[in-house]
Structure 1
């Protein structure tokens, strides 16, 4: 249990730093659209969780700490649905209804499609 907790903690630290760097880069290029950094992280994270799940979770020959560290830790630290929710609320409160609705729909549908694409990619590799 301790080894798994350490693997998740290490993966989470790396994922959080990657989220910060990705979101900062996007925000520096499109400051008015502050939410695009989180959107990018969520879509990429959903794609990767589908891919990693398809490739790693059923691989009992790989250490569970590696699988947990990557999926629970790295991707759990990388994806940011709580930030998404806060940003969505800010858009609604700022009267940017059309942008808020587009952000909501694109994030949810894009995330589900990205998870599906990750699984498809994982299946193609077999």
Structure 2
């Protein structure tokens, strides 16, 4: 597959994932309120589940790696939530018996993302 076509698949999937994320987040938040980010939790959990299913189908050779990995895995779930990628990477470490690296991955991702978010907020306060 040529490079330009790869980006087309990723772009279409990304557009769909971003729209789906917005729709689900705003819908769930309208049901439960924004005091706890259930909308974000919903997309993170669904994205993790969906990406795991996709990679399971690819590993079992039920569907071809490309273009589905690009369209759905990179594009759709990449725009829907990057938490899905984090989950698959951590689970892969666990499946390979790399418990320390999996724990370190969890701690670094959660801590670093929270700190980066806090720094971004503080910088924008002026």
Q: 1:62 aligns with which of 64, 68, 88?
A: 64
Aligned residues: 87
Summarize the Cα distance change of 1:27–1:76 in structure 2 as closer, same or farther, 3 Å threshold. same
CA contact (8 A) 2:29 2:38 kept: yes
Using CA pairs below 8 Å that are at least 6 residues apart, which structure has the higher relative contact order? 1
- Counterpart selection for 1:22 from 21, 24, 28: 24
Distance in 1 (CA, whole Å) between partners of 2:8 and 2:43 is 24
Q: 1:101-112 counterparts in 2 under 5 A? A: none
Ranges of 4+ aligned residues in structure 1 off by more than 4 Å:
none
Q: 1:72 to 1:80 in 2, by over 3 A?
A: closer
Q: CA RMSD in A?
A: 2.7
Contact 1:3–1:65 under 8 Å retained in 2: no
How far 1:62 sits from its partner (Å)? 2.6
Alpha-carbon contact 1:41-1:80 (below 8 Å) kept: no
Give the TM-score normalised by structure 1.
0.58
TM-score, normalised relative to structure 2: 0.58
Aligned pair partner of 1:37 in 32, 36, 39: 39
The one-character-per-residue Cα deviations of 1:25-82 (angstroms, maximum 9, x if unpaired) are: 011111143511000000010001110011125649736123211100000111155x
User: Matched residues in 1 for 2:66 and 2:37: separation?
Assistant: 34
